[in-house]
Structure 1
């Protein structure tokens, strides 16, 4: 992939995931291995900085960077729902298959279902991370 194509990939992924201008995004699981280009693409698209785990306001969406050894994904998803606005969504970013910390899609699906959500697609977010969007079922009222 060319350098310009690599630079465009995170911006495209951020848009495909549904991030839009003005949204407040809370971020969980930040560490040295996250993809800064994707983070910056989300901030550029939303025109706001990502809020950290201690943020106490209402978030329009949540980004969770999750690795296989991070603990219980269900707990992380439930925690992410705490500040999530009605009609908000969660994006779970996991290392791609074959990379250290990879999480099986079935584990993400199980966590979503247990938390009362469902997966609405997976996006090749960037070089090392895949993104799965979690949303409330259309018929559910929160």
Structure 2
């Protein structure tokens, strides 16, 4: 019995892929929107830091400035499904960044920066990939 062949035209949203030349194919207007949105959020973080101090300002720097602009463009060009998948990926990556920040904050005061940042980076990678694997496994069960 032959195994079913994958449909070459079907979109596989579970696969992680990197397309190095994609930025060159992007319209300049889209790049400008992303740049302007990121600059605007950075400016807002600077204002918040000046008025309220570095801790609240740092929280604004953690805001994924380019994500909102990117999701808007992805939804417009590739549809809501693609934008939803990008949002899921960003959410899983954010879980990893949370692990990174918690470990870095805990380890940096008492350990060398190299050790603390290496452990925090390993935690980011493990949590992000682990969350991706769990999400993918949960999706296959539905």
Please report the TM-score for the alignment, with normalisation by the length of structure 2.
0.24
Please report the TM-score for the alignment, with normalisation by the length of structure 1.
0.24
Larger Rg: 2
